[in-house]
């Protein structure tokens, strides 16, 4: 479904050039959920922007459904690191935003209620908790019924209970909607909870350190099981290794 082939991204040129990604290759099957983990600043957001078609790789290519990505596609949705809500629009207005830009008339009621936001449709972002704002960002992306959902740390800086609640929700929605997902995170437990496979990146410029299989993923109860803890420990060891 998604093929990332030998992708490198360099910002700027000459003396000031900043290499962000170096020769990244992996693929994500249809309906699969892959977590991408790596240290802060290694190039995770750059990778997602490239998959979304917002940033052109310096070299290499990215295919979705066999076609090279050359711009933003209607069947791919991206959840930004800070939810990206417009403060002057209501919950409903924000959730509908991309649909309406695409001149689509579908209702967002179902998705708002699946995310526990019913009753808040008329509120503004400033009137919501951070966890609710994140859920509005998720609603905006899911309202598009995307084939591919790209998530850039949608749970970062939330308290641990809210975080787990939203992780559970994403898992449920994945089962229900069957999208192909890439979740970027620097959180080890989150990657193990939500990644059927886990792509581990090195510090900047990001290279692939390992790709781990995580067959236990898929149930709420996986969290905290011995297999889960073992997988998390293995992932921690790879992230902590030098070089």
Region near ligand ATP per CB under 6 A, out of 43-51, 90-98, 161-169, 220-228: 43-51
DSSP 88: T
Measured from the CB atom, the residue of 11 and 88 that comes closer to ligand ATP is 11
45 touching Mg ion, by CB under 5 A: yes
DSSP 127: G
- Rounded least distance, CB 55 to ligand ATP, Å: 8
59 touching Mg ion, by CB under 5 A: no
From the list ligand ATP, Mg ion, none, partner contacted by residue 90 (C-beta under 5 to 8 A by kind): none
Sequence-ordered strand ranges (E) for the chain? 2-11, 18-28, 33-37, 59-64, 67-68, 76-79, 148-152, 180-185, 197-201, 208-213
Which residue among 13, 14, 15, 40 contacts ligand ATP (CB under 6 A)? 40
- Rounded least distance, CB 138 to ligand ATP, Å: 18
From the list Mg ion, ligand ATP, none, partner contacted by residue 41 (C-beta under 5 to 8 A by kind): ligand ATP
- Please report how the helices 130-142 and 160-177 are oriented relative to each other, as an axis angle in degrees rounded to 10: 10
From the list ligand ATP, Mg ion, none, partner contacted by residue 13 (C-beta under 5 to 8 A by kind): none
From the list ligand ATP, Mg ion, none, partner contacted by residue 11 (C-beta under 5 to 8 A by kind): ligand ATP
203 touching Mg ion, by CB under 5 A: no
CB atoms inside a 10 Å sphere around CB 135: 27
186 touching ligand ATP, by CB under 6 A: yes
Phi and psi dihedrals of 18, rounded to 5? -115, 105
From the list ligand ATP, Mg ion, none, partner contacted by residue 148 (C-beta under 5 to 8 A by kind): none
Q: Do 25 and 174 contact (CB within 8 A), yes or no?
A: no
Burial (CB < 10 A; 0-12, 13-18, 19+), residue 96, is: buried
Q: Do 231 and 222 contact (CB within 8 A), yes or no?
A: no
Site of interaction with ligand ATP (CB under 6 A):
11-12, 18, 20, 38, 40-46, 186, 204
Residues that bind Mg ion (CB under 5 A): 44-45
């Amino acid at each position: 479904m998604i093929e990332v082939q030998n992708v490198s991204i360099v910002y700027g040129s000459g003396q000031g050039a900043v290499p962000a990604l170096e020769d990244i290759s992996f693929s994500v099957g249809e309906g699969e959920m892959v977590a991408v983990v790596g240290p802060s600043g290694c190039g995770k957001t750059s990778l997602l922007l490239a998959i979304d078609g917002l940033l052109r790789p310096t070299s290499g290519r990215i295919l979705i459904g066999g076609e090279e990505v050359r711009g933003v596609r209607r069947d791919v949705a991206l959840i930004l690191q800070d939810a990206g809500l417009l403060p002057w629009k209501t919950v409903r207005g924000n959730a509908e935003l991309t649909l309406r830009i695409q001149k689509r008339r579908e209702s967002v009621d179902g998705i708002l209620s699946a995310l526990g936001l019913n009753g808040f449709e008329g509120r503004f972002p400033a009137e919501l908790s951070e966890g609710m704002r994140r859920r509005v960002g998720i609603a905006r992306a899911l309202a598009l019924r995307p084939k591919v959902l790209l998530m850039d740390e949608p749970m970062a800086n939330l308290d641990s209970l809210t975080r787990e609640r939203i992780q559970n929700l994403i898992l449920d929605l994945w089962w229900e909607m069957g999208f192909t997902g890439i979740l970027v995170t620097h959180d080890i437990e989150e990657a193990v909870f939500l990644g059927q496979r886990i792509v581990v990146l090195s510090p900047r410029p990001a290279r692939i350190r390992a790709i781990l299989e995580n067959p236990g993923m898929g149930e709420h109860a996986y969290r905290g099981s011995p297999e889960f803890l073992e997988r998390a420990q293995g992932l921690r060891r790879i992230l902590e290794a030098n070089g």
